[in-house]
Structure 1
C-alpha cells in the first residue's frame, strides 16, 4: 500500500491550528435569537403550573414555552440505527419538555429572547409549582420493594431491562460450577474471590459545549446546524419528536469540538427546531452551559459489579460470575445496551474452564441520565474483570502477567452468543511487548518487601473490544466520489469527523484505491443530510471499518468508471471540444498501449488493461505512463461527443465484526500519607490491525489513556442522595486530569492484517480508554498490598484504606 499506512499530516490540521475551521457557533447569523432551558429545582415530581409574569417583563423576551405547550409525543434519544422491529427500538420515554420531573434539573420550559442575557435572566424568573415526590437517586433505592416507578406509563418498576448471559453450557450457573470445582479439586485445591467493584458516574468533558441553532427555510423545512456525532440520526429523531416527515428536517454538522459519546445522543436539537417554529421560523441558538452539560446531558454509567471467581492453586480460572447494576438515571437514552455490553465482555475476556455467569440490571433513578461514553460499558467491564483477575493471581501467589497469559482467550476465539471472532489475534504479543517495555520482571522483583511511606509498584490490565455493532444492530454506511474538472476528486462521507482524524484516513483510503494522489483528494468535512450520503455516525469504533469499506467500494467503482472513459478515449478519435488540446496526446498514448500489449489497430483497448497511479493513467503494471487523469476529466466534462460527469456512490452493509485487543502496563509511585499516586511510566499496546495512519492512531491512544487516568484517579460526578442535586457539575470541582497530572504517554502497536477490515484495520477509537484505570489499581496493589475496589481512587479513599490496613 502506498498511502494507507503512511504518517501524513491531518487534512484538517491547518484550518484548526489557524482558527479558520468553522464550528457550529462560528456560522450563526447576526440576528439570531437565543434559547435558554428552564430546569426543575426538584428531582422527582410533577409540574402543576407556572408563573411567567416576571419573566415576560424582561426586555428582549420573545416567547416562553412550557411543558404544557409542546407536542404530546414521547421519543427516544439514543444514537442507534432505527430498527424495523418494534421490540428492538429505543425506548420512547421523554418529551421536548417534561411535565413529569425525574431528575434535578429536568427540562420543564424554555425562553426565547433577543440576546443571551435576557434569556438567562428570564429563565431564572420562571416560577414553577410542583407536586413533589421522594427522590430515588440510587439503584438500591430504585430496586426496593414498593419503590414508585419513575416511568409508570412504560414500566411497573424501575428496571429497564435485566439480562442473563453465560459462557460455556447454556444452562451454566456459577453455583453448579462451584460445586463441580469442589468435587474435583476439594477446598484445599481452590481459591474463591468474592468482591464488589464500583465504577463512577463520569462526564465526557468535551471542549465544545453542546450547541445548535435552528431555523425554518423558505420551503418550510426545519434546518438544524449542530455539533453532533450523528446528523442523520438527529434528523430522524427530530422528525419523530415533532411529529413531522423526515424530509421536512435538515441537519448540518460543521467541524465538531469533541463528543466522546455524549453527542451520540440527540440532545437539544429537537427542542431547538421547535422553538424556531414557535417564533415564525427565525433562527434560534441553544448553547448548553458547562454545568448543564456535566449533569444534564449524558454521563458514563455508574455500575456496581458484584464478582466471584474460582481459581485452582496452579492458576487455572474455573468459573466467574458478575452481577452488574447500572444506574441509568432518569431517562433511557441507550438503555440496557451499555450494561449488556459490559456483561458480555466480562464473560469473553478470559477462558473459564467450567463457565461464566452474568446478570445485568439497568435501572431508572432520579439522577443524571447515563448514555454512551467512550468504551460503551467496557471500561466498567474491564475494571470488574481485571480487579478480579488480579485478586485471584495475588491469592494464589502467581505472577499476574503469567496468570493472564495462562487464562486469556485463545487465538480464533468466537463469542458463541453473537459470532464475533478474533480473525487476527495479537493479545499475547501485546502482553509480551508491554512486559518488556515496563521491565516487568525486573521491577516486580525490585519492588518486593518495601517499607516506608512512599512505595513503587507495577501493574497491568488487558482488554478486548469488538469493531462496530453488527450483529447486534444494523451496520450501514455510504460514500460518494465525484471527479472534478481538473482531475481531482471530491469525497463525501456520511461518517463524521469529530476530532479523531476520520477525514484524514478516509482521504488516504480514497487515494489508495482510486490511484488519485492524496493532494488531489478533497473531503467534505461538513455533513448535510440533504446532500451527504447516509451514515449512522461516529460511535462504536466503527468508521474506519464500516464506513471505510464503503469508501473502498466507492473508490473501486469510481476508478472503474474513470478507466472505462480513458479506454473509450484511446479507442476513438476525440472528435470534440478537447480534440485540439488532447488529440495528439491520446493518439500517442493509444500507440503506446498497443505496442506494450501487442495489440493490432483492430483490437479494442479495454478498461482492465489500464490503471491509475499517482493521478496518471498507466498501462496495468504501471508502465508506460499515458496521460494525467486531468485529461480524462476535461474530456469527460466538455466532450461534444460523449459528456459524462463521472461519479460513484455505494452503500456498505457490514455483516462482519472482529475483536481488537491489547493491554496497559504502568509503573506508579504511591505516597501513602498524602494519598498521592504518581504515574512514573505507562504504555498501551494495541492490536488494531493495520494502521491507516500511525500518527493519528498514536494520537487516539494518547487521548484515550488520558481519559482513563481520570476514570482511575480523580473523576466522579457526585449527586446528593437526599435531594438528587448534582454537587460538582463544574470544572473547578469535577477533577479531570490537567497537563500537570499527565505523565509521558507511550504507545506501541502490533500490526496484523485483519481479513475483514477494508485495509486490514479494526477498532482503535475507544480501546485506549479501557485498560489504564485497572492497570493503575493493580500497580497500587503491588506497591502497598491494598486492594482498591472503587474508582476513582481519590486521595480520600486511598488514605482511608491505608489507615484501615495500618499502613499509616
Structure 2
C-alpha cells in the first residue's frame, strides 16, 4: 500500500514522515491569511446590537477635575450613555490596585481617560465625545523619577495607604514610591575600602512606546444567564480573567476571555487595559455588547508604554581586576499608575549585580510615580536598560584597570556556588558563563581587536557584554495542551498560547508533529484562545 494512503513511513512503519520537523524551515501556518489580509483580529469581530464607545481624555498632565459638561452629548440621537469616573468607583491593578477605570477627581497624565461616550455607531460616539467639555485646576507636575523623590514634590497618590497590593510589592505611602526593593549584601563600606579603583556613572532612558501595529481593543457583553464574554487584544487571557474576577467580583466560571491573534504585543498587552471599562459599560447598559477601542494616538498616550529608567552605578575593584563592591540606584518611571512597572523595578533589584560575583552589594531599586503616561511590561522587562547601566560601568572600570573587558568579565563571572544579590546560592543550572565568553571570543575573533577600518568611510566595531534576567515571574507559570484525533488520523491542537507574530502556531505544530512522527500539515492548531475551553496558560510573554 502506498505510504501516502496508509499514513505509515515506508522505512520505519511509524506514522507520518521520517523527517523531524524541528530545526527545519516550515511555512508558517498563519502566513497566507496574514499576507492576504484575511486574519481576523479582535477589532474585526462584530456582534449584533454592538454599541461603540469613544473616550474623552485628559488635556493636562496633572490636575483636579473641576467640571464635566455632558448635556450636549447626552442629547444627541444615537447616544446610549455617557459615563464618568463617578459612575464606576473602585480601582484595578495587577499588583497594586491604584488605577480608576475612568479618572475620579484627579488626572495623573496627559491622555488619561476621563469620559466614555457610548452610541449606536462609532461616528456618533466620536461626535458626541467632541461636544464634552472638561475643566481642570492644573497642579504642579512630576517630570522624572528623581524629581518625584525630591522633598516637597507633589504627591500623586495621596490615598496610597488605602491601595490593595500583593505582599511582594511594597509601596511607601506619603511618597511617590510605588515599590522599593532594597538589597544589602555584605559590607559595602569595607568593599569600597578594599577597592583600589572606583568608578561612578549615571545613565538615563526615557519612557517609550511598544508601537504595536494593532491598537488595543476590548468587546464585552453579559448574556442573559450572567455569563460575561470579553473579546480582547491581550497576550494574557487567563491573566485578564484573574484580575477581572478579583477586581470586579466575577466568579471565574462566569467569565470568558477570548483572544484572537493580536497584531504585536511586546509586553504591552500582557496586563489589563480596556477590559474593565468595556465590562462596566456593558453592565450599565443591560449587558449589551460594547466595544472600547483605542485610536492610534490613544494607544500611545492613554494606554501604557515602557518605563523609563534613571540609574547611578558605583563600582570598585582591586588592581588585579576583582570586583569588591557595587552600589546601584535604579529609579524606574512608572508614570501615573503602577501596572507592571512595580514588578519591573523588583526584578531589576534582584538582577542588579549583573551576572557577576560581587561580595558587597547595596541596591535601591524604586518604582516612582510621575506625570507621564503609565508604564507596563516591555521587551526584556527592564533588564535591557538596567543591564546597560551595569555593563557600561563594567566596561569603564575595565578601562581604568587597563584590562581587556572580556577578561575582566571572565574573572568576575558568576558561577555555581556563588550567591545572587538576594543571597540565594546558585546551582549547576546557572550554566558556565566563562565558557560562554570563550566561545563568543573565538566566534568573533576578539583577539584581532575591537575596531577594524574597512575603508575610508566604514569602521566595523565589535564588543561583548553579559546579561541575565531575574526570576520575577510567579511560580504558577503553567501551560498545557489538548490533543484530539480526527477520523483521518490528523490532529487538533488546543492551547492557551496567543499568536502575536512569534509564529507560535507553527512552532507548536512542529513539536506535536515531531512527537507523533507526523507531517506538520496534519497538525491543526486552533487559532483562538477562549478561557472556558482552552487549556490554562499563564501568559504569552517572554518570547513564547
Q: TM-score range by the shorter chain?
A: 0.7 to 0.9
TM-score (norm 1): 0.59
Which of 247, 257, 263 aligns to 1:251? It is 257
Q: 1:545-592 deviations in whole A, cap 9, x for unaligned? A: xxxxxxxxxxxxxxxxxxxxxxxxxxxxxxxxxxxxxxxxxxxxxxxx
Q: Size of the alignment, in residue pairs?
A: 512
Whole-Å Cα distance in 2 between the matches of residues 507 and 446 of structure 1? 44
Tell me which of 43, 51, 68 is aligned to 2:61. Answer: 43
8 Å CA contact 2:109, 2:372 repeated in 1:
yes
Matched, 1:176 2:178: no
1:350-429 equivalent positions in 2, closer than 5 A? 350-352=356-358, 354-410=359-415, 415=420, 417=423, 421=427, 423=429, 425=431, 427-429=433-435
**Which among 264, 269, 287 is matched to residue 263 of structure 1?**
269
SS at match of 1:375: coil
Q: Identify the residue that residue 532 of structure 2 maps to in structure 1.
A: 530
Give the Cα separation in 2 of the matches to 1:411 and 1:237.
38
SS of structure 1 residue aligned to 2:480? strand
- The C-alpha deviation readout for 1:100-143, integer Å capped at 9, x for no partner, is 32212222110112232322222222112334322223223322
TM-score where L is the length of structure 2: 0.86
TM superposition shift of 1:175: 2.1
Distance in 2 (CA, whole Å) between partners of 1:429 and 1:116 is 59
Q: How does 1:765-776 map to 2 (within 5 A)?
A: none
Does residue 203 (structure 1) correspond to residue 221 (structure 2)? The answer is no
Report the Cα distance in structure 2 between the residues aligned to 1:336 and 1:56, rounded to whole angstroms.
Answer: 39
For 1:165, the equivalent position in structure 2 comes to: 183
Higher Cα Rg, which structure: 1
Q: Could you give the per-residue CA deviations for residues 448-507 of structure 1, whole angstroms, max 9, x where no partner exists?
A: 9x9x998664333221235x656x543223322223232222211123222212222222
From 65, 90, 102, the equivalent of 1:73 is 90
Alignment of 1:111 with 2:128, yes or no, is no
d(CA) in 2 for partners of 1:108, 1:194: 44
How much does 1:351 deviate? 2.0
Aligned to 2:469: 465
- For residues 282-307 of structure 1, the C-alpha deviation after alignment (integer angstroms, 9 at most, x for no partner) is 32222212221122211221111111
From 50, 54, 78, the equivalent of 1:60 is: 78
Per the alignment, residue 312 of structure 1 pairs with 318
Higher RCO by CA contacts (8 Å cutoff, separation 6 or greater):
2
Alignment deviations for residues 186-207 of structure 1 (CA, whole Å, 9 cap, x no partner): xxxx221011111221111111
Deviations 1:750-788 (A, max 9, x none): xxxxxxxxxxxxxxxxxxxxxxxxxxxxxxxxxxxxxxx
Deviation at 1:383, TM superposition (A): 0.9
* Structure 2 SS opposite 1:263: coil
Aligned in 2, Cα 1:9/1:453: closer, same or farther, shift over 3 Å? closer
Distance, in Å, in 2 between the alignment partners of 1:40 and 1:251 is 29
Identify which of 44, 67, 79 aligns with 1:26.
44
CA distance, structure 2, for counterparts of residue 255 and residue 445 of structure 1: 44
**Pairs within 5 Å for 1:653-732:** none
Q: Are 1:165 and 1:359, in contact at CA under 8 Å, matched by a contact in 2?
A: yes
CA contact (8 A) 2:307 2:341 kept: no
Equivalent position of 1:237 in the other structure: 243
Displacement after TM superposition at 1:158 (Å): 1.3
2:170 equivalent in structure 1:
none
CA distance in 2, matches of 1:57, 1:420: 66
Structure with the higher fraction of residues in helix conformation: 1
Give the superposition deviation at 1:178. Answer: 0.9
Tell me, yes or no, if the aligned pair for 1:239 and 1:248 is still in contact at 8 Å. no
* 1:327-386 C-alpha deviation (Å, 9 max, x unpaired): 11111102421112123223142122x332211111112221111111111011211111
Q: Distance in 1 between matches of 2:452 and 2:320?
A: 24
1:485 match: secondary structure: coil
Structure 2: distance between partners of 1:160 and 1:426: 36
8 A contact 2:450–2:463 mirrored in 1:
no
Residues 1:494 and 2:499 are matched in the alignment: no
The alpha carbon displacement at 1:279 in A equals: 2.8
- 1:261 & 1:255 partners in 2: Cα distance? 15
Whether contact under 8 Å (2:410, 2:433) holds in the other structure is: no
Deviation at 1:41, TM superposition (A): 1.8
**Aligned-partner SS, 2:152:** coil
Q: For the residues of structure 1 that align with 2:467 and 2:72, how far apart are their CA atoms?
A: 56
Cα gap change, 1:110/1:361 in structure 2, threshold over 3 Å: closer, same or farther? same
Query: Does structure 1 residue 136 correspond to structure 2 residue 142?
Result: yes
CA RMSD of aligned residues (A): 2.7
